[in-house]
A = this chain, B = another copy of it.
């Protein structure tokens, strides 16, 4: 079993948004990325270019002596990747919010390195502000992963698998579901000839407000005031938008029950 007191060399498996954002943050912090593997050779090349390393064309070609192997693939590919990495000696981590650490327990040293952010191609993110959630198979491994995470982020926390799964679930909620609300809003505004960008400042402020006021206190609006006449007017306006209407009704009902129930 390999022993070391810091992680210096890294292999990356995957070439999507997380692999790319993480790879760039790591080399910017002086970490040596040895190699990249991804079933998508074109993406492998692009990422290898960005992080100034080689790419390998099959997973079996990955070297066995990197300090750390980062699996940044879609969740459903992780178990397949794992089955082909039996030869490695370093620490192996996945980057998934939703997967338990147990799936890596066949390895001597393993863990989770979960960056909590939404990454988009061609839109850079300030990694220093991205929370990184760490879990290690043992104390020494945790310490090495924390040390590495601290090089690229100012916001490193240790969470167990259950906590991370809840955090992932809430991340889905505040990101994916808010985005669906934005989609419904834009769709209606487009059809009424109203510029969606009018909502941008409100969207920003809504997100900023919860840094100072907790969401329970920050709640405002017709449902918060139990203003049934406005709610009914809005439901009528949504007559042609049954899915939007269903969301409007459910969420308004919940707010009314919470504050006036």
- Nearest CB in chain B to that of A254: its residue: B243
- Residue of A129, A131, A211 with most partner-chain B CB within 10 A: A131
| CB pair A169 B238 closer than 8 Å | yes
- Nearest CB in chain B to that of A166: its residue: B192
A9 at the interface (CB under 8 A from B): no
Which of A32-40, A49-57, A58-66, A177-185 lies on the face that meets chain B?
A177-185
B contact residues around A167 at 8 Å (CB) = 189, 194, 198-199
Provide the bound-state CA to CA distance between A206 and B125, in Å. Answer: 12
A1 at the interface (CB under 8 A from B): no
Mask of A86-99 contacts with B, CB within 8 angstroms, 1/0: 00000000000010
Q: State which residues 145-193 of A face B: CB under 8 Å.
A: 155, 157, 159, 162-163, 165-186, 188-189, 192-193
B contact residues around A162 at 8 Å (CB) = 192
B contact residues around A176 at 8 Å (CB) = 219-224, 251, 255
Determine the main DSSP class of A at the interface with B. helix
| CB pair B227 A175 closer than 8 Å | no
The answer, among B185, B207, B233, for a CB contact under 8 Å with A203, is B207
Q: What's the interface size class on A, roughly?
A: 35 or more
Q: Shortest Cβ distance from A60 into chain B, in angstroms?
A: 27
Q: Shortest Cβ distance from A85 into chain B, in angstroms?
A: 22
A116 at the interface (CB under 8 A from B): yes
| CB pair B215 A183 closer than 8 Å | yes
A76 at the interface (CB under 8 A from B): yes
| CB pair A250 B246 closer than 8 Å | yes
B contact residues around A220 at 8 Å (CB) = 118, 175-176, 179
Provide the bound-state CA to CA distance between A172 and B183, in Å. Answer: 14
Q: Shortest Cβ distance from A71 into chain B, in angstroms?
A: 16
Known pairs A171-B199, A176-B222, A246-B250 / 9 extra A-B pairs, C-beta < 8 Å: A75-B227, A98-B230, A129-B201, A159-B194, A167-B194, A169-B188, A170-B185, A177-B247, A179-B206
Cross-chain pairs A/B with CB under 8 angstroms, 12 sampled: A120-B209, A130-B201, A155-B198, A163-B194, A172-B221, A173-B181, A174-B181, A176-B220, A176-B224, A182-B210, A204-B207, A247-B250
